[in-house]
Amino acid sequence: MEELSEHDVIKMEDDHVVAPAATSTLIEAGDESPTPATTPATAAATTSDSQDPDHTKEAAVLPATTATPTPEVIAGPFNDEETTFHKALRNATSTETPKDLDVQGTLPDWLTGFHYTLSPGIFDVKYPKMVSVHGELQQETRTFTFGHWFDNIPQVNQFSFSGSDSKIKYRSTMPAHRAESKIRQHQGYLPNQPSSIFKTDTNQSVFARLLSTSHTQGKPSLEPCGASIDVLPPFNADGRRTIYCQNFANHILELNTDTLEKSGILAWDEVNPQFKGSHSSPHCHFDPVTKELINFSMDHGFNSTQYNFFSITEKEPHGSLIASVTAKTSHVHSFAVTPRYIILVVSPLNPSDGGVKYSWGASLLDAFTFKRAEPTLFYVVSRVKRRHIATFKSDAFFFFHHVNAFEDAADNVYLDFSLYADDTIAHQLSLSSLLDRSAPALTKPEFCRFELANVQAEAQRLENYNAAMANTGPVDKLRGFMRRVSVGQGSSASYAVPEKNSNTIPLATRIRSTPGVELPRINPIYHGLDYKYTWGVGISEQGDGDMYDCIMKLHVKGDAEPAVWSQKNCYPSEAIFIPPPGFDQNEDAGVVVSLVYDAEANQSFILVLDATDLNEKARAVLPEVVPLSFTNGCFAAGDISRGMQLPAAAAYYSDTEDEGDQYDD
């Protein structure tokens, strides 16, 4: 039998797979094609892999020269396939050449600038594999599928808004486009960092995963920085026109805002060696008063992690370490900042099996276990004293996002979350669960506010305790935290020992709990300050509850009913609040912008709403479907005249750019 090349095998799939002109992404063709988690290739691979994980036995498969589709089997109640969100969880087609969109409605005159979002680009990658059929080696096509909504090769979407003439232009690209060919080459995925994927079978050996996680950074076209995209002001202080993508694994990918070309990639510990760690938060904070960019890196151990908080400014581009907090290893997606404090909140989602799976590069949801009997801990760092000053605790809960945090005049700190009782939602957002029509409805988030009372008083109490402990002898420590130890010279004769319960951790008190939103956004002027409103995506009472299907505006004070935008069979991604230029006394003055998938029309559109009442102001249909996302985007106001340029062909990275990386043999 003539041996077929990889190119020949992929080409033979053309009856069922269409490759977009501008990318190497493989797209399931036709509206009736199966969803990524249940494609015929995936089903064939899953069946043979489960029976023969090493692929050494004979597999009853068709030769690669024959293309016979396998019927899709879906369990559960059958809704109309044409009106589900499932088609928005498939491989994307990038629009590399900027397109003018047909705008329906009118944009505000002041809305001029670039709007950026991240969305999944590639979920499925087809690859050729030699198998034995009746004793004869033949080549078949299998599919590697990312297993979680958060795991994918991302796509960057850029919009230019011109409010003066109500024009919108759009383009998209996949910066990590070469990761697809590496997945195909190695028939699986090797992440750089441990637990940097949520729920994906890498299809790689433990040894290969262990070797891959020794690398600190990838290459610009290989590292999927798909959790957030932002401006990061200190990095643009020299006038550079750049935008930055981040992931959970400590990487920052720099893109040129005019061309979306990759400028480079680095890890935080390359900015400053003190910022060491394999993970970080994809949600940096920028303080407009101090001009500080604040984030943390996570230097993991098996049972504990050092969370290194740092700041970067224009005057100090290499940054400085603020403080380090030692706490249990957990998945910390976001943190809070107020004018005086940084608050790290660590849920009891901790490595299982002594951290073995974690260190071997297993998916986060396979390596971590939520421990309901353990508390959630609140670590308070003083930005002035530059050290950890207090710790509070509450009952266990899980969260992805802080909404906001602020202080009051009585030295109390308030933290708002989109909160869950446990980590069920993280498992529900796996692709297998999202695409299962019999799966339970998604867990709805709560808007919860916690109070940390008398922070400075608690800091002083803890300081006194630590000082007393430093002066307490080892015998007293062994005998316990006694209030008074008599030495036989009268009841008044004693030496200082800390009070028995003087190191009891005070409680973080939950003072508000109402229905909430996910991917919460507020007016950025009010970050770290008392505020009234938050916007986000929610689950409507009228829907099936299997996907976020509405945009909501919540009043975080009082009992006012939320404002809601929804449209039948439409599913929004993150709703980003954009304020008008300058300062408006009305906190909700502005617009909310979201990328929405219309399942009935099988198309995506950009939606602009009045932030006050969520009435529609404008929309524009995109040339391609943009997959639904659970990521954070941004809006950069300003001149758009230099934007949307086509990159020079010579500026692209060559095929040898990744020479020596962890994928190469």
- The two tokens of residue 66 are 């024959």
Angstrom CA distances, 316 to 13, 203, 273, 310, stand at 53, 43, 14, 11
Residue 2 main-chain phi, psi, to 5 deg: -65, 130
350 Cβ neighbours under 8 A, 6+ residues apart:
328, 329, 330, 368, 369, 371, 374
Torsion of the alpha carbons at 13, 41, 84 and 169, rounded to the nearest 10:
-40
Say whether 186 counts as a known binding-site residue: no
How many CB atoms neighbour CB 103 within 10 A?
19
In sign, the C-alpha dihedral spanning 182, 300, 395, 531 is negative
Euclidean distance between CA atoms 308 and 335, whole angstroms:
12
- The two tokens of residue 278 are 């394999």
Say whether 555 counts as a known binding-site residue: no
Beta strands in 57-152 (DSSP E): 99-101, 103-105, 112-122, 124-133, 136-145
Say whether 148 counts as a known binding-site residue: no
Contact indicator for 148, 191 with CB cutoff of 8 Å:
no
- The two tokens of residue 646 are 């086509």
Euclidean distance between CA atoms 133 and 123, whole angstroms:
29
Residue whose C-alpha is closest to residue 310's, from 289, 335, 333? 335
Angstrom CA distances, 521 to 218, 296, 424, 524, 536, stand at 31, 21, 23, 8, 6
Burial grade of 439 (CB within 10 A; 0-12, 13-18, 19 or more): middle
Residue whose C-alpha is closest to residue 92's, from 26, 181, 14, 158? 26
Contact indicator for 447, 517 with CB cutoff of 8 Å:
yes
Euclidean distance between CA atoms 245 and 118, whole angstroms:
9
One DSSP character per residue, 246-275 reads E-TTSEEEEEETTT--EEEEEEHHHH-GGG
Contact indicator for 369, 349 with CB cutoff of 8 Å:
yes
Q: Which residue has the tokens 């005249």?
A: 641
110 Cβ neighbours under 8 A, 6+ residues apart:
163, 580, 581
Euclidean distance between CA atoms 114 and 644, whole angstroms:
10
188 Cβ neighbours under 8 A, 6+ residues apart:
144, 202, 203, 204
One DSSP character per residue, 131-164 reads EEETTEEEEEEEEEE--BTT-SEEEEEEEEEETT
Torsion of the alpha carbons at 353, 298, 264 and 257, rounded to the nearest 10:
110
Pairing mode of beta strands 285-287, 292-300? antiparallel
Euclidean distance between CA atoms 139 and 11, whole angstroms:
13
Q: Which residues are annotated as a binding site?
A: 283, 333, 401
Annotated binding site for Fe cation: 283, 333, 401
